[in-house]
Structure 1
Amino acid sequence: MAESVRIFEGVDKDLFTSDIYPQRKPAVLRGLDIGECKTKWTEEYLCKCVGSQEVKVHVSPSANMDFVNKNYAYRTLPFDKFLRRAAQSKHDEFFFEPDEKYYFRALGGDPRKEPADITKQFPSLAPDVTIPQFFEADTMFSTILRLGSAGVQLWTHYDIMDNLLIQISGHKRVVFFSPQDATNLYLTGDKSAVLDIENPDFSRYPAFRHARPMECHLQPGDVLFIPALWFHNVRSLDFSVAVNVFFRHLEANCYDTKDPYGNKDPQAAARALQILNRALKCLEELPDNYRDFYGRRMVSQIESKVYLKS
């Protein structure tokens, strides 16, 4: 059974800084002032404010988005049309089938260069959102508007920056795995290949048995603190609107300056992974028993020099 993520009420900056942030664990912050968005952001209001501004969205015949088999496609729609479809369970107009699902993650003005910024992409909505002032202003990296159909589930992944997920409307279930579960999650880059975490195929992913999940259910108005490197799997239980705020918590020179999404590994980690891949290529030149022996030596060195002591 999954451990429950702790819920904190009446959190201010002092409490967050002294008691919550240092734990480096997910936390639900309940009862914060998130602004007028909680009451104002109805379907009609959002459609009126944003109108026919075009947005690129994920569209899938399945509620479970699959990054391996790419069971979704990108389509461009006017925002108001997208929103009305996403809020419905059945559609008169559709791309694949009447009960297809929609998911939107805002992008920067130039997605190849600029991080998402709600004040620039959705200036009429930005004043409605109050971002908790728990981090220094100059560490803010991006503010991302997210909307999704009921039932949409995003694959398990990690982010390299701390972030606050401000749940404005709708409910979400979020399942977390510790960074120390990385060896149990069958990673492909920043994503876990274990797509069905409720009914995993243990014959294919045996180490997943050892993963230790944490879980929370978000209500409208909740703010979820997601520390960097914590794996999370998010399902919208009903039509959902949220704003994600990412913060740099490492020195600025640690990050890739050509990363508008903020999801590339820190530069030192990226270099280390490149060196590791070259080392593994070298081992391929050896017979199986030698490759096994020297591979074990490498793992032993990594464990002794890098792993945190339990």
Structure 2
Amino acid sequence: MKSGGGRIIEKLWEEVRELSLGSDDTRINRLDSPPTPLQFLRDYVSQNKPCIISNAISHWPALSRWPHLPYLSRSLSTSLVSLHLTPNGRADSIVPLPDHNKDDDLSSSLCFASAHQNDCFRTEYSGLAADCDPDVPWATEALGCSPDAVNLWIGNHLSETSFHKDHYENLYAVVSGEKHFLLLPPTDVHRMYIRPYPAAQYSYSHETGEFSLEVEQPTRFVPWSSVDPFPSPETREAEMDKFPLYFRGPKPFQCTIKAGEVLYLPSMWFHHVRQSPGDDGCCTIAVNYWYDMQFDIKCAYFNFLQSIPYGSLPPETRPEGSPSQTDVSEMSEQEPDEQNGDQ
């Protein structure tokens, strides 16, 4: 039998959907043209409500140039850029340690991250900067600031980003291919089963052509969502039993962002990202603009909700030396180059 607090939290999940996007609708609002700064601020930023905008980047030369790999090669021929290699395209996933078999043992799993989100488009990939706008003008005016970071994402059909949130207002522009998002509002934090996992990275051997996992030393714990929304058919029932608040709760919002479209992803929204190439078979390419969020009363509401121990990890199951609930909350507020984000 659920407690009164549990019923209230579950009611909150439904009310947020009904007030923001419609109680029985998992689609995101679409705009045929860019909003005015006032409309954007009033109808979306202030309401912490996502939307998809068409015809906002149709003037970018990148849309016609970047799907051609020879052009990218020429433009970046003198640039030193970072590449992040993984055996499966999942650069921020939770994976089991080779020496453990217990799925429910936190010490037997790792969350590893290797994606740069440190303003790389304006540094490593500056040879392509002229093909895009330096900011999103109507968002810059509405938010009263320039982007803190502009990042470039290049990947293929294997690239996938697990559920996470960012402390930024995110304008996400797809240049080539398609991005497939699952979105959950900040009020659904308990459904993410956020737990502390040891951080690790993949290491690639040129001699053997194989990957190995290397746990960071000293051990650093990262708060991360335990939920995989697309488990294999063999593990689906077990995953549903382990994470019932996610699988048996309200459906996440789903949207596909095509080349030439922009997603406004409000701060603190949880998102999972997959992608597919365009009709020309080119890799998926996107640019995102991170604007600093306002740490106002909405942030205080979220921190309060997160502190309620409904469906969260019981203290006795934390691995020795892992952070407390307070530490987990503090660790989640990282600088751009320390966060894990979209591929």
TM bucket, shorter chain:
0.5 to 0.7
Q: Does 1:241 align with 2:285?
A: yes
Superposed, 1:77-116 pairs within 5 Å as 105-106=115-116, 115-116=118-119
When residues 57 and 119 of structure 1 are mapped into structure 2, their CA distance, relative to the original with a 3 A threshold, is closer
What is the aligned partner in structure 2 of residue 223 from structure 1? Answer: 262
Aligned residue identity for 2:32: E
The correspondence of residues 45-194 of structure 1 with structure 2, limited to 5 A, is 45-51=71-77, 53-65=79-91, 67-69=93-95, 105-106=115-116, 115-130=118-133, 131-133=135-137, 134-136=139-141, 138-188=145-195, 191-194=224-227
Q: Is the Cα contact below 8 Å between 1:174 and 1:234 reproduced in 2?
A: yes
Q: Secondary structure at the match of 1:48?
A: helix
Shift of 1:69: 1.5
Name which of 12, 37, 51 aligns with 2:62. Answer: 37
Distance 1:190 1:222 in 2: 31
Higher relative contact order (CA 8 A, sep 6+): 2
SS at match of 1:150: coil
Q: Report the Cα offset of residue 228 of structure 1.
A: 0.6
For residue 210 of structure 1, give the secondary structure of its aligned residue in structure 2: coil
CA drift of 1:166 comes to 0.8
Tell whether the 8 Å contact from 2:151 to 2:287 is kept in structure 1 after alignment: yes
- Residues 104 and 241 of structure 1, relative CA distance in 2, 3 Å threshold: farther
Q: Distance in 2 between matches of 1:198 and 1:164?
A: 29
**Distance (whole Å) between structure 1 residues aligned to residue 177 and residue 306 of structure 2:** 39
What is the total number of aligned residue pairs between the two structures? 228
Q: Give the superposed CA RMSD.
A: 3.5
Offset at 1:250?
A: 1.9
In structure 1, the partner of 2:211 is none
1:16 aligns with 2:40: yes
Distance 1:148 1:22 in 2: 32
Q: Aligned AA for 2:40?
A: F
Structure 1: runs of 5+ lacking an equivalent: 72-102, 108-114, 255-265, 285-310
Identity of aligned residues (%): 21
**1:171–1:237 Cα contact (<8 Å) kept:** yes
The letter for the 1-side match of 2:41 is T
The SS at the match of 1:4 is coil
Aligned partner of 1:32: which letter?
Answer: A
Question: Tell me, which stretches of 5 or more residues in structure 2 are unaligned?
Answer: 1-23, 98-112, 196-221, 278-282, 317-343
Q: Secondary structure at the match of 1:138?
A: coil
